[in-house]
Amino acid sequence: MKDHAPKRGYSEGPGFFEHALEKTAEMPKEKREIRKRKSRLKSIIAVFVSLAIIFGGGYFVYAKVMNYWRANTAVDYPGPGSGEVIISVEEGWTATDIGAELADKDVVASQKAFVKAAKAEPLSSSIQVGSYKMKLQMTADDALSILIDPNNRLRNNITFREGLRNSQVASLISASTGISTDEVSSAMESGEIGLPSYASGSEGYLFPETYEFDQSPSAKQILSQMTTHFKNVAGELELVPKAEKLGYTTQEIVTIASIIEKEIRHPEQAPDVAQVIYNRLKAGMKLRMDSTVHYAVGDSGETVMTTDEQRQIDSPYNTYKYEGLPPGPICNPGKTALAAALNPSKGDYMFFVTVNIETGETRFAATEEEHSENVKMFQQYCREHDGC
Protein backbone atom coordinates (compact mmCIF):
# COMPACT_ATOMS: atom_id res chain seq x y z
CA MET A 1 0.00 0.00 0.00
CA LYS A 2 1.40 3.34 -1.02
CA ASP A 3 2.40 5.71 1.84
CA HIS A 4 0.63 9.04 1.99
CA ALA A 5 2.33 12.31 2.96
CA PRO A 6 1.10 13.86 6.17
CA LYS A 7 -1.68 16.38 5.74
CA ARG A 8 -0.87 20.07 6.15
CA GLY A 9 -1.22 21.21 9.70
CA TYR A 10 -0.62 17.76 11.15
CA SER A 11 2.58 16.18 12.56
CA GLU A 12 3.19 12.73 13.95
CA GLY A 13 4.62 11.86 17.32
CA PRO A 14 4.01 13.94 20.47
CA GLY A 15 1.59 16.05 18.49
CA PHE A 16 1.36 19.68 17.47
CA PHE A 17 -1.69 20.26 19.65
CA GLU A 18 0.04 18.88 22.73
CA HIS A 19 2.94 21.26 22.19
CA ALA A 20 0.53 24.18 21.68
CA LEU A 21 -1.27 23.42 24.91
CA GLU A 22 2.00 23.18 26.80
CA LYS A 23 3.12 26.58 25.44
CA THR A 24 -0.20 28.18 26.34
CA ALA A 25 0.01 26.83 29.88
CA GLU A 26 3.48 28.34 30.19
CA MET A 27 2.25 31.82 29.22
CA PRO A 28 1.72 34.50 31.90
CA LYS A 29 -1.91 34.81 32.97
CA GLU A 30 -2.27 38.31 31.39
CA LYS A 31 -1.20 37.05 27.96
CA ARG A 32 -3.49 34.05 28.22
CA GLU A 33 -6.45 36.41 28.90
CA ILE A 34 -5.57 38.57 25.88
CA ARG A 35 -5.45 35.44 23.72
CA LYS A 36 -8.85 34.35 25.05
CA ARG A 37 -10.39 37.76 24.29
CA LYS A 38 -9.00 37.75 20.78
CA SER A 39 -10.30 34.24 20.29
CA ARG A 40 -13.79 35.26 21.43
CA LEU A 41 -13.70 38.32 19.15
CA LYS A 42 -12.70 36.19 16.17
CA SER A 43 -15.51 33.79 16.95
CA ILE A 44 -18.04 36.62 17.05
CA ILE A 45 -16.74 38.01 13.77
CA ALA A 46 -16.97 34.56 12.23
CA VAL A 47 -20.61 34.30 13.35
CA PHE A 48 -21.47 37.68 11.80
CA VAL A 49 -19.76 36.77 8.54
CA SER A 50 -21.65 33.48 8.47
CA LEU A 51 -24.91 35.37 8.96
CA ALA A 52 -24.00 37.62 6.07
CA ILE A 53 -23.52 34.61 3.84
CA ILE A 54 -26.67 32.82 5.01
CA PHE A 55 -29.11 35.72 5.13
CA GLY A 56 -27.62 38.19 2.69
CA GLY A 57 -27.29 41.92 3.42
CA GLY A 58 -23.54 41.40 3.55
CA TYR A 59 -22.58 45.09 3.70
CA PHE A 60 -24.92 45.77 6.62
CA VAL A 61 -23.52 42.84 8.58
CA TYR A 62 -19.98 43.80 7.61
CA ALA A 63 -20.56 47.31 8.97
CA LYS A 64 -21.89 45.87 12.23
CA VAL A 65 -18.85 43.61 12.51
CA MET A 66 -16.45 46.47 11.88
CA ASN A 67 -18.18 48.70 14.44
CA TYR A 68 -17.99 45.95 17.04
CA TRP A 69 -14.36 45.27 16.19
CA ARG A 70 -13.41 48.94 16.43
CA ALA A 71 -15.20 49.33 19.75
CA ASN A 72 -13.38 46.38 21.28
CA THR A 73 -9.90 46.65 19.77
CA ALA A 74 -7.43 49.48 20.33
CA VAL A 75 -6.34 49.63 16.70
CA ASP A 76 -5.16 52.96 15.36
CA TYR A 77 -4.72 54.50 11.93
CA PRO A 78 -1.17 55.53 10.97
CA GLY A 79 -2.46 58.99 9.99
CA PRO A 80 -2.24 61.76 9.05
CA GLY A 81 -5.68 61.32 7.49
CA SER A 82 -7.41 62.95 4.55
CA GLY A 83 -10.70 64.50 3.51
CA GLU A 84 -12.97 66.42 5.86
CA VAL A 85 -15.79 65.64 8.26
CA ILE A 86 -17.63 67.68 10.90
CA ILE A 87 -17.83 66.05 14.33
CA SER A 88 -20.22 67.30 17.02
CA VAL A 89 -19.54 66.78 20.72
CA GLU A 90 -22.72 66.92 22.77
CA GLU A 91 -23.42 67.93 26.36
CA GLY A 92 -22.52 65.25 28.91
CA TRP A 93 -20.41 63.12 26.57
CA THR A 94 -17.49 61.17 28.04
CA ALA A 95 -14.29 60.14 26.26
CA THR A 96 -16.00 56.83 25.53
CA ASP A 97 -18.94 58.60 23.87
CA ILE A 98 -16.63 60.82 21.83
CA GLY A 99 -14.52 57.83 20.84
CA ALA A 100 -17.61 55.97 19.64
CA GLU A 101 -18.67 58.97 17.52
CA LEU A 102 -15.19 59.35 16.03
CA ALA A 103 -14.96 55.64 15.21
CA ASP A 104 -18.45 55.65 13.71
CA LYS A 105 -17.48 58.56 11.41
CA ASP A 106 -14.15 56.85 10.55
CA VAL A 107 -12.10 59.65 12.06
CA VAL A 108 -10.26 57.14 14.27
CA ALA A 109 -9.85 53.41 13.75
CA SER A 110 -11.33 52.40 17.09
CA GLN A 111 -13.12 53.76 20.12
CA LYS A 112 -10.54 52.16 22.43
CA ALA A 113 -7.63 53.88 20.70
CA PHE A 114 -9.22 57.27 21.37
CA VAL A 115 -10.11 56.41 24.98
CA LYS A 116 -6.54 55.25 25.53
CA ALA A 117 -5.19 58.54 24.13
CA ALA A 118 -7.65 60.56 26.24
CA LYS A 119 -6.63 58.77 29.45
CA ALA A 120 -3.02 59.72 28.79
CA GLU A 121 -3.87 63.41 28.20
CA PRO A 122 -5.03 65.47 31.25
CA LEU A 123 -6.49 68.17 28.97
CA SER A 124 -8.99 65.69 27.54
CA SER A 125 -11.35 66.56 30.39
CA SER A 126 -11.58 70.12 29.00
CA ILE A 127 -13.06 69.18 25.61
CA GLN A 128 -15.88 71.64 24.92
CA VAL A 129 -19.32 70.96 23.55
CA GLY A 130 -19.52 71.98 19.91
CA SER A 131 -18.57 71.11 16.35
CA TYR A 132 -15.08 70.43 15.01
CA LYS A 133 -13.63 70.02 11.52
CA MET A 134 -11.56 66.83 11.34
CA LYS A 135 -10.00 64.45 8.81
CA LEU A 136 -10.90 60.87 8.05
CA GLN A 137 -8.58 58.12 9.33
CA MET A 138 -6.50 60.19 11.72
CA THR A 139 -4.42 58.85 14.55
CA ALA A 140 -6.22 58.93 17.89
CA ASP A 141 -3.60 61.35 19.27
CA ASP A 142 -4.09 63.75 16.35
CA ALA A 143 -7.87 63.63 16.72
CA LEU A 144 -7.56 64.35 20.43
CA SER A 145 -5.21 67.29 19.82
CA ILE A 146 -7.91 68.96 17.70
CA LEU A 147 -10.63 68.45 20.29
CA ILE A 148 -8.66 69.75 23.29
CA ASP A 149 -7.88 73.06 21.56
CA PRO A 150 -10.93 75.36 22.03
CA ASN A 151 -9.77 77.47 19.08
CA ASN A 152 -10.69 74.57 16.79
CA ARG A 153 -14.36 74.66 17.81
CA LEU A 154 -16.40 75.85 14.84
CA ARG A 155 -18.40 78.97 15.57
CA ASN A 156 -21.27 80.83 14.01
CA ASN A 157 -21.47 84.55 14.77
CA ILE A 158 -24.78 86.34 14.26
CA THR A 159 -25.25 90.09 14.78
CA PHE A 160 -28.71 91.32 15.67
CA ARG A 161 -28.97 95.09 15.42
CA GLU A 162 -31.18 97.20 17.64
CA GLY A 163 -34.82 97.60 16.67
CA LEU A 164 -35.41 94.30 14.88
CA ARG A 165 -38.84 92.73 15.23
CA ASN A 166 -39.18 89.06 16.08
CA SER A 167 -40.08 88.27 12.48
CA GLN A 168 -36.83 89.90 11.35
CA VAL A 169 -34.87 88.05 14.04
CA ALA A 170 -36.35 84.76 12.81
CA SER A 171 -35.37 85.55 9.21
CA LEU A 172 -31.82 86.42 10.25
CA ILE A 173 -31.43 83.22 12.29
CA SER A 174 -32.77 81.19 9.37
CA ALA A 175 -30.40 82.83 6.89
CA SER A 176 -27.42 82.25 9.20
CA THR A 177 -28.15 78.69 10.33
CA GLY A 178 -30.59 77.12 7.88
CA ILE A 179 -33.20 76.66 10.62
CA SER A 180 -36.64 77.38 9.16
CA THR A 181 -38.37 80.59 10.21
CA ASP A 182 -41.37 78.50 11.30
CA GLU A 183 -39.15 76.53 13.68
CA VAL A 184 -37.66 79.74 15.09
CA SER A 185 -41.10 81.30 15.52
CA SER A 186 -42.35 78.17 17.27
CA ALA A 187 -39.42 78.36 19.68
CA MET A 188 -40.21 82.04 20.34
CA GLU A 189 -43.76 81.11 21.31
CA SER A 190 -42.86 77.95 23.24
CA GLY A 191 -42.27 79.64 26.59
CA GLU A 192 -39.05 77.62 26.89
CA ILE A 193 -36.44 80.26 26.02
CA GLY A 194 -35.98 81.81 29.45
CA LEU A 195 -38.19 84.88 29.19
CA PRO A 196 -38.43 87.08 32.30
CA SER A 197 -41.56 86.56 34.39
CA TYR A 198 -42.96 89.98 33.49
CA ALA A 199 -42.83 89.39 29.72
CA SER A 200 -46.15 88.77 27.98
CA GLY A 201 -44.33 87.41 24.93
CA SER A 202 -40.87 87.30 23.37
CA GLU A 203 -41.19 90.53 21.34
CA GLY A 204 -38.97 93.09 23.04
CA TYR A 205 -36.86 90.57 25.00
CA LEU A 206 -34.48 89.21 22.35
CA PHE A 207 -31.57 91.47 23.17
CA PRO A 208 -29.68 92.92 20.16
CA GLU A 209 -26.01 91.96 20.19
CA THR A 210 -23.42 89.88 18.35
CA TYR A 211 -23.63 86.31 19.59
CA GLU A 212 -21.30 83.37 19.12
CA PHE A 213 -22.88 79.97 18.63
CA ASP A 214 -21.71 76.49 17.77
CA GLN A 215 -21.73 75.43 14.13
CA SER A 216 -25.22 73.94 14.39
CA PRO A 217 -27.16 75.60 17.23
CA SER A 218 -30.84 74.99 17.80
CA ALA A 219 -33.38 77.81 17.68
CA LYS A 220 -33.94 77.37 21.40
CA GLN A 221 -30.22 77.75 22.15
CA ILE A 222 -29.97 80.97 20.15
CA LEU A 223 -33.08 82.57 21.59
CA SER A 224 -32.25 81.50 25.14
CA GLN A 225 -28.89 83.23 24.87
CA MET A 226 -30.65 86.41 23.73
CA THR A 227 -33.16 86.41 26.58
CA THR A 228 -30.41 85.66 29.09
CA HIS A 229 -28.50 88.71 27.84
CA PHE A 230 -31.67 90.80 28.14
CA LYS A 231 -32.06 89.78 31.79
CA ASN A 232 -28.43 90.61 32.49
CA VAL A 233 -28.80 94.10 31.00
CA ALA A 234 -32.11 94.57 32.81
CA GLY A 235 -30.33 93.76 36.05
CA GLU A 236 -27.57 96.30 35.33
CA LEU A 237 -30.15 99.01 34.60
CA GLU A 238 -32.30 98.04 37.62
CA LEU A 239 -35.23 97.77 35.25
CA VAL A 240 -37.75 96.28 37.68
CA PRO A 241 -37.31 98.66 40.66
CA LYS A 242 -36.95 101.75 38.47
CA ALA A 243 -40.08 100.88 36.50
CA GLU A 244 -42.00 100.64 39.76
CA LYS A 245 -40.57 103.99 40.87
CA LEU A 246 -41.77 105.59 37.62
CA GLY A 247 -45.24 104.15 38.19
CA TYR A 248 -45.22 101.79 35.20
CA THR A 249 -45.05 98.03 34.85
CA THR A 250 -41.80 96.54 33.59
CA GLN A 251 -43.59 95.43 30.43
CA GLU A 252 -44.74 99.02 29.82
CA ILE A 253 -41.18 100.31 30.21
CA VAL A 254 -39.92 97.80 27.66
CA THR A 255 -42.75 98.90 25.34
CA ILE A 256 -41.72 102.55 25.75
CA ALA A 257 -38.09 101.59 25.08
CA SER A 258 -39.13 99.80 21.88
CA ILE A 259 -40.88 102.95 20.61
CA ILE A 260 -37.84 105.05 21.48
CA GLU A 261 -35.63 102.58 19.60
CA LYS A 262 -37.66 102.93 16.40
CA GLU A 263 -38.04 106.71 16.61
CA ILE A 264 -34.42 107.78 17.13
CA ARG A 265 -31.56 108.06 14.65
CA HIS A 266 -28.87 109.03 17.17
CA PRO A 267 -28.41 107.81 20.77
CA GLU A 268 -28.36 111.32 22.20
CA GLN A 269 -31.96 111.81 21.04
CA ALA A 270 -33.28 108.95 23.18
CA PRO A 271 -33.84 110.78 26.51
CA ASP A 272 -35.74 113.60 24.79
CA VAL A 273 -37.97 111.17 22.86
CA ALA A 274 -38.64 109.47 26.19
CA GLN A 275 -39.56 112.85 27.67
CA VAL A 276 -42.13 113.43 24.90
CA ILE A 277 -43.70 109.99 25.43
CA TYR A 278 -44.07 110.42 29.18
CA ASN A 279 -45.39 113.96 28.87
CA ARG A 280 -48.02 112.85 26.37
CA LEU A 281 -49.06 109.90 28.51
CA LYS A 282 -49.45 112.12 31.55
CA ALA A 283 -51.47 114.66 29.57
CA GLY A 284 -53.81 111.97 28.21
CA MET A 285 -52.77 112.72 24.64
CA LYS A 286 -52.43 110.16 21.90
CA LEU A 287 -48.79 109.28 21.27
CA ARG A 288 -49.23 109.57 17.49
CA MET A 289 -46.04 107.61 16.77
CA ASP A 290 -45.47 106.47 13.20
CA SER A 291 -43.34 103.59 14.47
CA THR A 292 -46.35 101.95 16.12
CA VAL A 293 -48.39 102.29 12.93
CA HIS A 294 -45.64 100.59 10.93
CA TYR A 295 -45.85 97.71 13.38
CA ALA A 296 -49.63 97.61 13.14
CA VAL A 297 -49.63 97.35 9.35
CA GLY A 298 -46.72 94.91 9.34
CA ASP A 299 -44.41 96.79 7.00
CA SER A 300 -40.65 97.07 7.39
CA GLY A 301 -40.83 100.25 9.44
CA GLU A 302 -37.69 101.58 7.78
CA THR A 303 -39.42 104.68 6.41
CA VAL A 304 -40.10 107.70 8.59
CA MET A 305 -43.58 108.63 7.44
CA THR A 306 -46.87 106.79 7.34
CA THR A 307 -49.73 107.34 4.92
CA ASP A 308 -53.22 108.60 5.76
CA GLU A 309 -54.54 105.14 4.90
CA GLN A 310 -52.10 103.42 7.25
CA ARG A 311 -52.99 105.76 10.08
CA GLN A 312 -56.63 104.69 9.77
CA ILE A 313 -55.99 101.02 10.52
CA ASP A 314 -58.01 99.70 13.43
CA SER A 315 -55.31 98.23 15.62
CA PRO A 316 -54.45 98.70 19.31
CA TYR A 317 -50.92 99.41 18.04
CA ASN A 318 -52.19 102.44 16.11
CA THR A 319 -51.33 105.26 18.52
CA TYR A 320 -52.90 107.78 16.16
CA LYS A 321 -56.24 106.10 16.81
CA TYR A 322 -55.94 104.93 20.43
CA GLU A 323 -54.62 106.67 23.53
CA GLY A 324 -51.97 105.22 25.77
CA LEU A 325 -49.33 102.64 25.08
CA PRO A 326 -49.77 99.80 22.60
CA PRO A 327 -50.31 96.31 24.09
CA GLY A 328 -46.62 95.41 23.98
CA PRO A 329 -43.20 96.16 22.50
CA ILE A 330 -42.95 96.84 18.78
CA CYS A 331 -39.32 95.72 18.44
CA ASN A 332 -36.37 94.50 20.45
CA PRO A 333 -34.73 97.58 22.00
CA GLY A 334 -31.07 97.95 22.94
CA LYS A 335 -29.47 99.23 26.11
CA THR A 336 -29.58 102.92 25.10
CA ALA A 337 -33.33 102.87 24.55
CA LEU A 338 -33.98 100.91 27.75
CA ALA A 339 -31.84 103.35 29.74
CA ALA A 340 -33.67 106.32 28.21
CA ALA A 341 -37.06 104.80 29.08
CA LEU A 342 -35.90 104.62 32.70
CA ASN A 343 -34.20 108.02 32.68
CA PRO A 344 -36.09 110.50 30.46
CA SER A 345 -34.79 114.03 30.19
CA LYS A 346 -36.66 116.72 32.10
CA GLY A 347 -38.69 119.36 30.32
CA ASP A 348 -41.93 120.30 28.58
CA TYR A 349 -41.37 118.68 25.20
CA MET A 350 -44.60 117.38 23.69
CA PHE A 351 -43.60 117.06 20.03
CA PHE A 352 -40.67 116.05 17.85
CA VAL A 353 -40.08 115.65 14.13
CA THR A 354 -37.12 114.61 12.02
CA VAL A 355 -36.36 117.52 9.72
CA ASN A 356 -33.52 115.92 7.77
CA ILE A 357 -33.80 112.24 6.93
CA GLU A 358 -30.23 111.98 5.65
CA THR A 359 -28.61 113.30 8.82
CA GLY A 360 -31.34 112.32 11.26
CA GLU A 361 -31.59 115.87 12.60
CA THR A 362 -34.62 116.01 14.91
CA ARG A 363 -36.34 119.07 16.38
CA PHE A 364 -38.25 119.01 19.70
CA ALA A 365 -40.98 121.44 20.74
CA ALA A 366 -43.11 122.21 23.78
CA THR A 367 -45.95 123.94 21.91
CA GLU A 368 -47.96 123.25 18.78
CA GLU A 369 -46.78 126.55 17.30
CA GLU A 370 -43.12 125.54 17.66
CA HIS A 371 -43.90 122.12 16.31
CA SER A 372 -45.67 123.59 13.27
CA GLU A 373 -42.53 125.53 12.38
CA ASN A 374 -40.46 122.37 12.66
CA VAL A 375 -42.92 120.48 10.46
CA LYS A 376 -42.54 123.21 7.81
CA MET A 377 -38.79 122.56 7.86
CA PHE A 378 -39.44 118.89 7.25
CA GLN A 379 -41.87 119.64 4.42
CA GLN A 380 -39.30 121.92 2.81
CA TYR A 381 -36.74 119.13 3.04
CA CYS A 382 -39.16 116.72 1.34
CA ARG A 383 -39.75 119.16 -1.51
CA GLU A 384 -36.00 119.26 -2.14
CA HIS A 385 -35.25 115.60 -1.67
CA ASP A 386 -36.65 112.26 -2.78
CA GLY A 387 -36.28 110.53 0.58
CA CYS A 388 -39.73 111.28 1.94
For 39-74, write each residue's pLDDT tens digit: 554 454 455 445 544 455 554 555 555 555 555 567
Q: What number of CA atoms fall less than 13 Å from residue 93's CA on the CB side? A: 21
Average pLDDT rounded to a whole number, residues 288-316: 91
Residue 331: per-residue pLDDT: 97
Average pLDDT rounded to a whole number, residues 194-210: 96
Query: What's the gap between Cα 32 and its chain centre?
Result: 52
**Strands (DSSP E) found in the chain:** 82-89, 130-136, 153-159, 210-214, 351-356, 361-365
Residue 169: per-residue pLDDT: 97
- Neighbouring C-beta atoms of residue 146, cutoff 10 Å: 18
Residue 65: per-residue pLDDT: 57
Residue 252: per-residue pLDDT: 98
pLDDT above 80: residue 35: no
pLDDT in tens, 61-110: 555 555 555 555 678 999 899 999 988 888 889 999 999 999 999 999 99
Report for 30-39, 210-219, 314-323: range of highest mean pLDDT: 314-323
Domain spans, the chain: 82-154, 156-236, 247-384
Order of strands across the sheet with 82-89?
82-89, 130-136, 153-159, 210-214
- Neighbouring C-beta atoms of residue 148, cutoff 10 Å: 17
Share of the chain above pLDDT 70, in %: 81
pLDDT higher for 123 or 11? 123
Q: Which amino acid is at 245?
A: K
Average pLDDT rounded to a whole number, residues 329-358: 97
pLDDT above 50: residue 3: no
pLDDT in tens, 246-283: 999 999 999 999 999 999 999 999 999 999 999 999 99
Residue 63: per-residue pLDDT: 56
Q: How confident is the model at residue 31 (pLDDT cuts 50, 70, 90)?
A: very low
Residue whose C-alpha is closest to residue 330's, from 227, 259, 249? 259
Indicate the range of 91-95, 197-201, 242-246, 317-321 predicted with least confidence.
Answer: 91-95
Q: How confident is the model at residue 303 (pLDDT cuts 50, 70, 90)?
A: confident
pLDDT above 90: residue 238: yes
Indicate the range of 20-24, 192-196, 236-240 predicted with least confidence.
Answer: 20-24
Residue 336: per-residue pLDDT: 98
pTM given for the model: 0.68
Q: How confident is the model at residue 215 (pLDDT cuts 50, 70, 90)?
A: confident
- Assign residue 253 a region: left if phi > 0, alpha if psi is -120 to 50, beta otherwise? alpha
Domain 82-154 architecture:
2-Layer Sandwich (3.30)
Q: Which amino acid is at 183?
A: E
pLDDT above 90: residue 112: yes
Do residues 250 and 231 make contact, with C-beta atoms less than 8 angstroms apart?
no
Residue 37: per-residue pLDDT: 44
The chain-wide mean pLDDT, for the chain, equals 85
pLDDT above 50: residue 186: yes
- Exposure of 251 by Cβ count < 10 A (0-12 exposed, 13-18 middle, 19+ buried)? buried
Do residues 287 and 315 make contact, with C-beta atoms less than 8 angstroms apart?
no
